[in-house]
Every structure is written in C-alpha cells, then in structure tokens.
Amino acid sequence: MLTPSLPPPTIPGSKPGGAPKPPKLRPAVLSASAPAGAATAWTPADAAAGGGRLSALIRSLCAAGRTAEAARALSAAGPGAGIVAYNAMVAGYCRAGQLSAARRLAAAVPVPPNAYTYFPVVRALCARGRIADALAVLDEMPRRGCAPIPPMYHVILEAACRGGGFRSAVRVLGALHDRGCALDAGNCNLVLNAICEQGSVDEAVQLLRDLPSFGCEPDVVSYNAVLKGLCMAKRWGDVEDLMEEMVRVDCPPNIVTFNTLIGYLCRNGLFERVHEVLAQMAEQGCTPDIRMYATIIDGICKEGHLEVAHEILSRMPSYGLKPNVVCYNTVLKGLCSDERWEEAEELLAEMFDKDCPLDDVTFNILVDFFCQNGLVDRVIELLEQMLEHGCMPDVITYTTVINGFCKEGLIDEAVMLLKSMAACGCKPNTISYTIVLKGLCGAERWVDAEKLMSQMIQQGCAPNPVTFNTLINFLCKKGMVEQAIELLKQMLLNGCSPDLISYSTVIDGLGKAGKTDEALELLNVMVKKGMTPNTIIYSSIACALSKEGRISKVIQMLDSIQDTTIRSDAVLYNAVISSLCKRGETDRAIEFLAYMVSSGCMPNESTYTILIRGLASEGFVKEAQEMLSELCSKGALRKHLMNYFGVV
C-alpha cells in the first residue's frame, strides 16, 4: 500500500488539528517484482504526493520490460506528472527498443521538455547507426524550447566514426557546426583519433588545420592524436615539423607527446633520435616519467644493447626516479634471453638492495630461463621462493615448468604437476594440457594421452586445433590412420573445426598408408567446406598416387587446381618426379617433366637433380653424366654439382 511518508502540511492561519485530511490513495504497484499483469493504479493525487515516486515506479516497470504498465501509470497521473516522469518513460521505451514510441512521447510531452528528454532517443538512434535521425532530433529540440547539450554531439560523432568511417564523421562534424552546435576540442579530437586509427593521416592533418572553421581551436590532445598517426605511418620528418608547430602556436608538447615519440623511436630502433627528444623535453620543461624510461629500456634491450639499458637503469635515481619492477624485469629478461646468468643474478641482488619487490613476472622470467637451460632442480627451488615473496605461481609459471619437464623427458613429473595445479588454486589451460599431451606422444604413451585428453574435456577445458593436431600427427606417424580419422570427427563433436594442418596431416597419413582414395575423399570434404588445399596437401596426394603408378589421376588432379600459384609450384611436380624415379620409372618421370613445362611450371635445380639421380640409379650413368654436363653448361645447374656426382 502506498502511504504518505510525511504528515500533512499545516495551512497558514489554520489550527494544526484542523488541517484538511489528505485524500486516500489507491493501491499502486511500487515494485517490478509484482506479478506481471497486476493492475497498476496511479492518480493525480498520487503524483502530487510523490512525483519522485512516480518516476521511480516507471523506471522499475520499464527495467522489468513492463513498458505498457509504466505508460498506464504515467497516463493515470494526468497533469500532475512532471518532466522527470516523462523522461523516465522515454528512456524506458528506448531501453526496450521501442524507439517509435519514445520519439512520439518526446514530441508530445505536455510539459516543457529538457535536453534529457531527448538524450536517450539520440543515444538509442546512434546505437543503431541512425545518425541522420539523431540529427533530426537535434533539429526538433529548439522548436520545443530546449537546446542540445555537448554529450549529444559526442555520442553522434562516436557513432559516425564507428559506423561510417572518418569521412562520415567529418561530414557529421560539419552538420553539427551548421546547426549552431557549440563544438569543443574534445568533439573534434574524437574524429581526429578515428582518422588516425584508420591510417588516413593526411586527412587528419587537414582536419587539424580546419578545426577553427568548426569553431574550436586545436589543443595538445589534438596535436598528440595527429602526432601518433604520423608516428604509425613512420613519417619522422612530418613529426618533427608538427613538434615545431606546437611550440610556435603556444601549444607545447606534454608528457603524453614525448611518451608517444619515445615509444615510436624505440620500436623502430632509432635510439640516436631518443637523445634528441630527451633534449627537447628539457627545453620544454617536461621531465621524463617512469613510463618513458621503461619504454626506452625495453627498446634498448630488444636491440640487444643490454649494457646501455643497465646503465640507464643505474642512472635513473640521479634523475629523481626510482626504477620500478617493470624496468628491472625488462633488463632481467634481456640478460636471461642472452644467457648472461651471472649478470642476471647481480641484477636480482640489486633489486633486493634497492628494496624493489620481485613480482610474478620476475619469477616467470627466471622460471623460463631455468627451464630453457634444463635446470629443472633450480625451478623447484624457485617455486618455493615465490611463495616466500608473497607471489603465487600462475598458469604461465606452471605451464613453463611443465614445458621444461617435458623437454627434459620428465613426463611423469609433468603429468603430476599438471594434476596438482588445481589443488594449488590454479586451473590448467589448454596450452598446459597440450604440452603434456605432446610429451606423452613423444614418449609413445598413447594410452596415457587418450586418458589425459578425456580428463581435459571432463574438467571443462576445451581442446583447440593445436591440441587435436598434436595427437593426429602422432597417430599418423605411427600409421594409426583410422584413429586419426576418428579424432578428426571428435574435433567437430567438441566444437572445434579442423584446420588446414589437421586435414594435411591426415591426408598425408592416408597417402603413406596406401589409402589414396580415402585421401582424395578427404580432399573433397575440405573443398566442400570452403577450405583451399595448399601445395603440401596436393604434393602428399600426388606422391601417393605416383607410388601406385596412377599418373593419369595425378594429372587429372593437377588440371583441376584453380590456384595458379599452386599449379606453378615446382615442389608439387618434383614430388611426383621423385616418386617415379624411386619406382625405377625414370622414363615416365621425363614424360611428366614435359607435362610440367606445358603447365607453365619451369623446372628448378631440384627437378634436374632428382632426374639425374634417377637415371644413375637405373644404370644410365652415361646419360646422367651427359645431362649433368649439358645443364651445367647452360647454367641450369651449379658447376660444383659435377664434382658432387663424380663428373669431371
């Protein structure tokens, strides 16, 4: 029951006890938890007693998807309903996707509307890409006595950038300006960023120049957006010109400007320019921050200049900055990657001395280094130290250790660690399982691999194509092609589509097992699924068919290939020629060479080498020597091959 929360007001000049009694209010639905379809009653007296409660009721009903009941409550309130209640109803229609109803109500609100009557409509239209309709709403607003507000311009421009590209956004920018909208630099910067992200930096420069015509002056954010675009386009000369312009127009570069430049220079190895930029910073009274030094150190380490990086790290305190763990980790990773363990140990000691706490990344770098170098005993110690330092090993840590165990052939230890991860509060991921499965396959423990795969699926960890391909590759190498085909079917059952590697591996396995017809069937399945076979797949089938002497089928298959790049690949034809020569059918190989040339594929050095060896192995040594000498004299083969084949 709805009851007034305050006593009735005392009318001036009347006795407190003689105040008129408030009208009795009829039951009204206050909560969206009431049964759907329950009657919602609201009277003008209710509205007078609690306009805020009416808008709250409308919002509640609309949030529950009961817009019809909300509309009835608003209608029942009559003239007592204020603009807040109407705005709530408009917003409710918009959230429910009833844009036509929202626009009708906004246009017919019986009380003076405000910007927030129309804002939900503009936002909903923009979310659906209806920019023209959103602009039409802006045109309607002045006729109802209210003006658009800046957030509306931002929403419209954002939608234009997202939906129609930067050219559409520039047109919308002009349309807003023509309507007399007071645009600010933030609105224009939104468009500038969109232009640069789409790689059209020349258009961004032009818009920067045109900003005054839209009624706003460029600020440092505007320049930074264009500067970033020029950096992405690697136009260093234009970057320098724009920097000079910023100083000239009294819009000096800030720390964001210099961070952008330093990041660009470091990523492109232009370290000599970094010193110039740092000097410019000093001229502008801008002090490098910790992020900038971290970027510089990272770039220098990636270029292999570890001594320089360490020197910068050591000098940072003299610049008033204390190196953080990110800076130390960057140098530590570089030293470990370069296998300079003694220096890495010294750096760790320095971290302790400088009271820089080690984090998960630090330990992961060390774990990776030890695993790469087969120092698995040190890894176990390191995991214990992690806990002492308040760092919990994460899935990356465990997966790295598991990989290290597998590389050292410690498969049982890897399996044990994988199974203990969950107990340590760290759930294994697909990569963790895949590494162990690969290790089991490498140890030829197929039964254990099958069990682990089942456990993986039961634990809700979905295998990916790499997981399945690891097992398929093992099965095909062992000649267990039927099991590989079953695994290919399981991929689909587990919502994982076979990729090119999956099909390629099974097709190759079928070919080597002498099941060429099944290989051809699988090839057709691939093509029907819209996948394009590559040279490796065609070579596998061509080689298998050649071993069976089915050259006409090979030619039929090659003629059906639409991709000219594959058809002109000598690797494909060489596979057939090699198979024929191994069968002692060099005469047919020479005939196939003629087909190769007629198909627009020129033989290469490998082609001739295969034929010469084929002739020699069949006893046609003289013919092989003559062919070799002739090809060398024509430059088709390198002369050192004459000595290789024993021809003087």
Q: What are the structure tokens assigned to 95, written together?
A: 């959230």
Q: Is the dihedral of CA 137, 138, 142, 147 positive or negative?
A: positive
- AA letter at 137: V
Give the pLDDT score at 646.
54
Give the pLDDT score at 13.
36
Q: What is the pLDDT of residues 86-132, one digit of tens each?
A: 999 999 999 999 999 999 999 999 999 999 999 999 999 999 999 99
The residue among 441, 461, 481 that closes a domain is 461
**Cα(532)–Cα(516) distance, rounded to whole angstroms?**
19
Report the CATH number at residue 369: 1.25.40.10
Task: Give residue for tokens 């969950």.
Answer: 422
Q: Is the dihedral of CA 235, 238, 243, 249 positive or negative?
A: negative
The range of the structural domain enclosing residue 610 comes to 568-647
- What is the chain's percent helix, strand, coil content, to nearest 5? 70, 0, 30
Report in angstroms the alpha-carbon separations of 412 from 117, 379, 419, 443, 560. 67, 16, 11, 11, 49
Taking the whole predicted model, whether its pTM rises above 0.85 is answered as: no
How far, rounded to the nearest angstrom, does the alpha carbon of residue 550 sit from its chain's CA centroid? 46
Largest CA distance in the chain: 134
In this structure, is residue 554 part of a structural domain? no
User: Which of the pair, 266 or 508, is modelled with greater confidence?
Assistant: 508
In this structure, is residue 368 part of a structural domain? yes
**Cα(22)–Cα(11) distance, rounded to whole angstroms?**
13
In this structure, is residue 632 part of a structural domain? yes
- Helix orientation angle between 411-420 and 430-442, rounded to the nearest 10 degrees: 160
In this structure, is residue 578 part of a structural domain? yes
The residue among 412, 441, 461 that closes a domain is 461
Give the pLDDT score at 59.
93
**Cα(344)–Cα(372) distance, rounded to whole angstroms?**
15
Main-chain dihedrals φ then ψ at residue 58, nearest 5 degrees: -65, -45
The residue among 461, 496, 521 that closes a domain is 461
Report in angstroms the alpha-carbon separations of 445 from 409, 411, 412, 471. 12, 10, 11, 11
Task: Give residue for tokens 């660009």.
Answer: 264
Give the pLDDT score at 266.
81
How far, rounded to the nearest angstrom, does the alpha carbon of residue 599 sit from its chain's CA centroid? 42
In this structure, is residue 179 part of a structural domain? no
Q: What are the structure tokens assigned to 356, written together?
A: 């820089």
Q: What is the pLDDT of residues 38-51, one digit of tens each?
A: 434 555 445 444 45
Residue 167's pLDDT band, with cuts at 50, 70 and 90, is confident
In this structure, is residue 407 part of a structural domain? yes
Q: What are the structure tokens assigned to 441, written together?
A: 């396959």
Report in angstroms the alpha-carbon separations of 490 from 293, 465, 469, 485. 51, 11, 12, 9
**Cα(312)–Cα(300) distance, rounded to whole angstroms?**
10
In this structure, is residue 331 part of a structural domain? no
- AA letter at 550: R
Neighbours of 615 (CB within 10 A): 23
In this structure, is residue 229 part of a structural domain? no
**Number of domains composing the chain:** 2
Give the pLDDT score at 48.
46
